[in-house]
């Protein structure tokens, strides 16, 4: 008689068409029943259309019939809601009071750092009017779904992504919405997306401290916040506002990243402080959190983002950032039953 483990192993290679992830990775398998040689599978229908469900039935049968002693395979789909289906261990929001300081970039790099460690990562692009995550990852496939919810689009590295840009007819279409609609969209991205099993969900926030960041902080169980700043005077002043809002809401600031700290002159290796002297430490002190990294202005990075290839980025500064960020992320993960989530919504 086959074991549960053998059945799961055989299904690990069954990729869901259009999503290209296995039913195991997507957390679609609800139950396996084995009686003598008869295997009964119960799968969540999780946003899958009828055609895909049929395809999975046929292919699950084919995969399992390869196992010795399997005499019959039956597959049943049960309705589910994202709420019962999702299992997200840690939610980290990336925030800054000011626009254009590199929040989206830091979100992207954070996701890449975690994915390189083998973590399952998703990005919720909460910037509804200025989404930039899909372009950075070079993705434009529309998420598939049905009335109960949708499945995120997957990046080449396997990072799950949901952004309003993926749902627009044309990626250049402008979204001209007011606060309540924007908040509604963010809530839907949380409540009506089949994220499945994730170690981390990173939330890329729009600039400012208005509706969208508030919605995220109050609707999602945010474990911690990463603050992004640049050395500019104005940036650090506005960032302090974001720090103050985060603290008022009772969320924990995990760390501060200073972006565009300097430019390394190619031939001499000399560092030029284009936006002025570093204020990273100052901002970090104000936030009561560590300064995780100082990222340089790197033309190679800008070019990779424009080409949709952020996942290919390597540099010494990125290595240092990855190490500091993943360490703090892992810690926030472990302390998720502690202080960090007690204060949340």
Decide which of Mg ion, ligand ATP, none touches 100; Cβ closer than 5 to 8 Å per partner kind: ligand ATP
Candidate residues 104, 165, 246, 322; the one interacting with Mg ion per rule CB under 5 A: 104
Q: How far is the CB of 213 from Mg ion (least distance, A)?
A: 12
Segment near Mg ion (CB under 5 A); pick from 124-132, 236-244, 269-277, 309-317: 124-132
Instruction: Tell me which stretch binds Mg ion (CB under 5 A): 56-64, 126-134, 212-220, 258-266.
Output: 126-134
CB 5 within 8 A of CB 39: no
Q: Strands, E, within 118-252: which ranges?
A: 121-125, 145-146, 149-150, 153-154, 160-162, 197-204, 224-229
223 near Mg ion, rule: CB under 5 A: no
How far, in Å, are 106, 319, 333 from residue 322 at the CA level?
Answer: 10, 5, 16
User: Taking the complex as a whole, how short is the minimal distance between the CB of residue 239 and ligand ATP, in angstroms?
Assistant: 11
Question: What is the nearest approach in angstroms of ligand ATP to the Cβ of residue 201?
Answer: 17
To Mg ion, the closest distance from the beta carbon of 104 in angstroms equals: 3
Q: How many CA atoms lie within 13 A of 219 on its CB side?
A: 18
- Closest alpha carbon to 252 in 95, 51, 119, 82: 95
Select the residue whose beta carbon is closest to Mg ion and give its number.
104
C-alpha to C-alpha distance for 110 and 108, rounded to whole angstroms: 5
List of E strands, the chain: 15-16, 21-22, 29-35, 38-44, 72-78, 87-95, 121-125, 145-146, 149-150, 153-154, 160-162, 197-204, 224-229, 253-258, 263-264, 271-272, 291-294
Residue whose CB is less far from ligand ATP, 86 or 165: 165
DSSP letter at 307 equals T
- Indicate the residue among 36 and 171 with the shorter CB distance to ligand ATP: 171
Instruction: List residues near ligand ATP by CB under 6 A.
Output: 96, 99-105, 127, 130, 132, 206-207, 259-260, 295, 297-298, 301-302, 305
Q: What are phi and psi of 224, to 5 degrees?
A: -170, 165
The nearest distance, CB 21 to Mg ion, in angstroms, is 26
- # binding residues, Mg ion (CB under 5 A): 4
Closest to Mg ion by CB, 127 vs 160, is 127
Q: Which does 101 bind (CB under 5 to 8 A by kind): ligand ATP, Mg ion, none?
A: ligand ATP
To the nearest whole angstrom, how small is the minimum distance from the Cβ of residue 5 to ligand ATP? 43
Q: How many CB atoms lie within 10 A of CB 309?
A: 14
Least CB distance to ligand ATP at residue 301 (A): 4
Instruction: Give the C-alpha separation, 275 to 62, whole Å.
Output: 61
Q: Which part of the chain contacts Mg ion (CB under 5 A), choosing from 63-71, 132-140, 153-161, 173-181?
A: 132-140
Q: Residue 146 burial (CB < 10 Å; 0-12/13-18/19+)? A: middle
235 binds, among ligand ATP, Mg ion, none (CB under 5 to 8 A by kind): none
* Contacting residues toward Mg ion, per CB under 5 A: 103-104, 127, 132
């Amino acid at each position: 008689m086959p074991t549960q483990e053998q059945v799961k192993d055989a299904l690990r290679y069954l990729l869901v068409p259009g999503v290209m992830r296995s039913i195991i990775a997507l957390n679609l398998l609800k139950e396996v029943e084995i009686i003598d040689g008869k295997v009964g599978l119960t799968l969540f229908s999780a946003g899958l259309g009828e055609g895909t469900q049929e395809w999975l039935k046929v292919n699950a049968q084919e995969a399992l019939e390869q196992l010795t002693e399997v005499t019959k395979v039956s597959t049943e789909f049960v309705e589910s809601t994202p709420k019962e289906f999702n299992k997200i261990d840690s939610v980290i929001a990336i925030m800054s009071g000011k626009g254009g300081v590199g929040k989206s970039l830091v979100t992207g790099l954070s996701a890449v750092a975690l994915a390189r460690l083998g973590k399952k990562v998703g990005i919720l692009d909460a910037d509804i009017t200025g989404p930039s995550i899909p372009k950075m990852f070079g993705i434009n496939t529309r998420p598939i779904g049905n009335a109960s919810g949708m499945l995120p689009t997957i990046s080449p590295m396997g990072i799950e992504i949901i952004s309003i840009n993926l749902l627009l007819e044309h990626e250049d279409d402008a979204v001209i919405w007011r606060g309540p609609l924007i908040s509604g969209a963010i809530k839907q991205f949380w409540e009506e997306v089949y994220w499945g099993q994730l170690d981390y969900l990173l939330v890329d926030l729009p600039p400012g401290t208005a509706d969208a960041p508030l919605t995220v902080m109050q609707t999602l169980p945010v474990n911690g916040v990463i603050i992004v700043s640049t050395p500019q005077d104005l940036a650090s002043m506005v960032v302090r506002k974001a720090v103050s809002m985060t603290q008022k809401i009772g969320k924990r600031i995990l760390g501060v990243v200073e972006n565009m700290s300097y430019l390394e002159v190619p031939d001499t290796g000399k560092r030029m402080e284009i936006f002025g002297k570093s204020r990273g430490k100052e901002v970090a002190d104000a936030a009561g959190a560590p300064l995780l990294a100082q990222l340089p202005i790197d033309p190679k990075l800008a070019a990779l983002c424009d080409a949709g290839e952020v996942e290919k980025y390597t540099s010494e500064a990125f290595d240092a950032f990855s190490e500091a960020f993943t360490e703090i992320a892992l810690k926030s993960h472990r302390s998720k039953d502690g202080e960090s989530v007690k204060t949340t919504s």
